[in-house]
Amino acid sequence: MIVHGGRPLKGSVMLSGSKNATLPIMMASVLTDQPLRLRNVPRLRDVNTAIALLQGLGVSAEWTGEHELTLQAAKLTSNDAPYELVKTMRASFCVLGPLLARTGKARVSTPGGCAIGARPVNLHITGIRTLGTRIQIRHGYVEAHADHLEGARIWLDNPSVGATENIMMAAVLARGRTTIENAAREPEVQELARALVSMGARIRGSGTHVIEIEGVERLHGADHEVVSDRIEAGSIMVAAAITGGEVELPNAPTHELDAVIAKLRESGVYVQANGDGVTVARDGKLKPVELRTLPYPGFPTDLQAQMMALLTQSSGTSVITETIFENRFMHALELTRMGADILMKGPTAVVRGPAKLLGAPVMATDLRASMSLIIAALAAENQTEISRVYHLDRGYEALDAKLGALGAQIERVKDEV
């Protein structure tokens, strides 16, 4: 992707559906033999990976509209989620819970490490084991069997999003009541709970630290519209801010963006939020801020890299502490190659600004890191060439077209496989 910096973003753009909400809801299709119709599904590489995974289990998947996906697990023909798919997308691991709940048997590859840290799945496994499952890890696969799942109290060591979702999807068909304590409160967990409830599940407390699930005999089909992507919203807000532009996002999920809006305002960016929708603008200088990533409703780790790019332009010293993933500063080195002044020590990065950013050849290392480089490139002099943009396509739908429509000079010169 080639970006020529220096143009303020101006205009209005519609956000796509949330990637992180879509993926686990797709996995929930395994829980019923009836159709699950999903609307506002983003067209992304990760969604295609999830489709491939589900098709491998015997689920039929059909695009019934540009952004409408209908999934039906009328009959499952396999219990295997292979390494090739799980390693490319960790969210695949969330098929364990639904597969086990529906068939009593699942064999799911463990995801292994990834660029941003170790990211173990121990909490998923412990939780699902507590529901009465026999689990063995053999040859890199989790092999799980249960004659039936039995509701239980589960306490999570930390409020993992994926573990909360996986356990919730196993528990909806278990006998009796399951309580997940120290559950994740992220909007995507709430969105999954809403989808499951519309399929006939009985769930209380999603959005709080204690989720109660009363198991039911069976679930039925449903029709669910996916909420807009809060991370895409935050990313474009930051992009607008760094270019000194003015951008409106009419379908931004404003109520999910409180921490992001607060930090942007603190750094001198004008944000107007009303109902569903935000306008972001900047004409003055950027101020330095202190930022800690935290579980929701704290500042999301998925926007840390983008904020770092913005803070390279603040007048003064900003301090960023990453508390969720231990190795999520890979973008800092690439930003430094563009002229940023960033010092890293353990989970903390000290960003001194304003730095003059100059275009350079850079490499995307993960999904959000790639967005951070694009944001820096939008403010850099001359041309920045970003390689490995397939990371971007995992989670941002037609981002080049969206930024282009706002006035960015951005061009995809080669499709990478």
Q: Give the footprint of ligand UD1 on this chain (CB under 6 A).
A: 20, 23, 90-91, 117, 119-124, 158, 160-163, 184, 188, 301-302, 324-325
Q: Which amino acid is at 320?
A: I
Residue 302 CB, shortest distance to ligand UD1, in Å, is: 5
Q: Could you give the CA distance from residue 375 to residue 378 in angstroms, rounded to a whole number?
A: 5
Residue 127 CB, shortest distance to ligand UD1, in Å, is: 8
Answer for the pair 278, 248: CB distance below 8 angstroms, yes or no: yes
Task: Give the tokens for residue 353.
Answer: 């600004």
Measured from the CB atom, the residue of 219 and 325 that comes closer to ligand UD1 is: 325
Measured from the CB atom, the residue of 7 and 19 that comes closer to ligand UD1 is: 19
Measured from the CB atom, the residue of 10 and 292 that comes closer to ligand UD1 is: 292
Radius of gyration of the chain (CA): 21
Query: What are the residues whose beta carbons fall under 8 Å from the beta carbon of 84, sequence distance 6 or more?
Result: none
What distance, in Å, lies between the first and last C-alpha atoms of the chain? 14
Q: Could you give the CA distance from residue 391 to residue 304 in angstroms, rounded to a whole number?
A: 16
What are the Cα distances from residue 304, in Å, to 26, 125, 139, 150?
Answer: 27, 28, 35, 39
Three-state secondary structure along 155-208? Answer: ECCCCCHHHHHHHHHHHCCCECEEEEECCCCCHHHHHHHHHHHHCCCEEECECE
Residue 189 CB, shortest distance to ligand UD1, in Å, is: 9
The secondary structure element, H or E, covering residue 396 is none
Residue 323 CB, shortest distance to ligand UD1, in Å, is: 9
Strand partners, 384: 3
Measured from the CB atom, the residue of 122 and 136 that comes closer to ligand UD1 is: 122
| ∠ CA 31-107-20, rounded to 5° | 55
The secondary structure element, H or E, covering residue 262 is helix 258-266
Measured from the CB atom, the residue of 309 and 408 that comes closer to ligand UD1 is: 309
Dihedral sign for Cα atoms in the order 375, 406, 280, 278: negative
Note if 94 is an active site residue: no
Residue 197 CB, shortest distance to ligand UD1, in Å, is: 19
Q: Could you give the CA distance from residue 341 to residue 335 in angstroms, rounded to a whole number?
A: 8
Query: What are the residues whose beta carbons fall under 8 Å from the beta carbon of 57, sequence distance 6 or more?
Result: 30, 73, 76, 77, 78, 79, 80, 81, 95, 99
Q: Which of these is catalytic: 2, 52, 76, 114?
A: 114
Residue 316 CB, shortest distance to ligand UD1, in Å, is: 28
Residue 328 CB, shortest distance to ligand UD1, in Å, is: 8
Cis upstream peptide for 300 (omega within 30°): no
Measured from the CB atom, the residue of 7 and 119 that comes closer to ligand UD1 is: 119
- To the nearest 10 degrees (0 to 180), the angle between helices 187-198 and 19-28 is 30
Residue 307 CB, shortest distance to ligand UD1, in Å, is: 14
Active site residues: 114
